[in-house]
Chains A and B, each alone.
Chain A
Amino acid sequence: MNKWLINPFRYISGWPALFTGLAGIAVMSVISAFTKTHLDGVIDVHYASSGDFTMFISENLITWGSLMLMYGIFGLAIAGRTFRLIDLAGYTAFIRLPFLIAVIFPFIFDGSAVADFIIYNFLNMGKPVEISTMDVVWFIVMTLLTIVIVFWSLMWGYFAYKTLFNTKGLKAAALYFIIVLLSEVIVKAILYLIYKPGFIVNIPT
Chain B
Amino acid sequence: MKILPKQCPSCHNLLSVERLHCENCVTNIEGMYELPLLSRLDDEAQQFILSFVKNSGSLKKMAKELGMSYPTVRNMLNDIIIQIQELEQKQQEHE
- Which residue numbers of A lie inside 8 Å of B, CB to CB? 9-14, 17, 82-84, 87, 163-164, 166
Contacts and interface: CB of A to CB of B under 8 A. Distances in A.
Contacts of A14: 69-70
Instruction: Give the top 9 A-B pairs by smallest Cβ distance, nearest first.
Output: A13-B69, A166-B75, A13-B70, A163-B71, A10-B72, A13-B71, A87-B71, A166-B78, A12-B69
Given A9-B69, A11-B68, A82-B78, 20 more contacts: A10-B69, A10-B72, A11-B67, A11-B69, A12-B69, A13-B63, A13-B69, A13-B71, A13-B72, A83-B71, A84-B70, A84-B71, A87-B70, A87-B71, A163-B71, A163-B72, A163-B75, A164-B71, A166-B74, A166-B78
A137 B74 CA distance: 48
Contacts of A84: 70-71
Nearest to A83: B71
B67 A9 contact: no
Contacts, number: 36
27 contacts: A9-B69, A9-B71, A10-B69, A10-B72, A11-B68, A11-B69, A11-B72, A12-B69, A13-B69, A13-B70, A13-B71, A13-B72, A14-B69, A14-B70, A82-B74, A82-B78, A83-B71, A84-B70, A84-B71, A87-B70, A87-B71, A163-B69, A163-B75, A166-B71, A166-B74, A166-B75, A166-B79
Interface in B19-75: 63, 67-72, 74-75
B64 to A, nearest CB: 11
A77 to B, nearest CB: 17
B33 to A, nearest CB: 34
A163 B71 CA distance: 6
B82 to A, nearest CB: 10
With most chain A CB atoms within 10 A of its CB, the pick from B69, B74, B78 is B69
Nearest to B69: A13
A13 B71 CA distance: 7
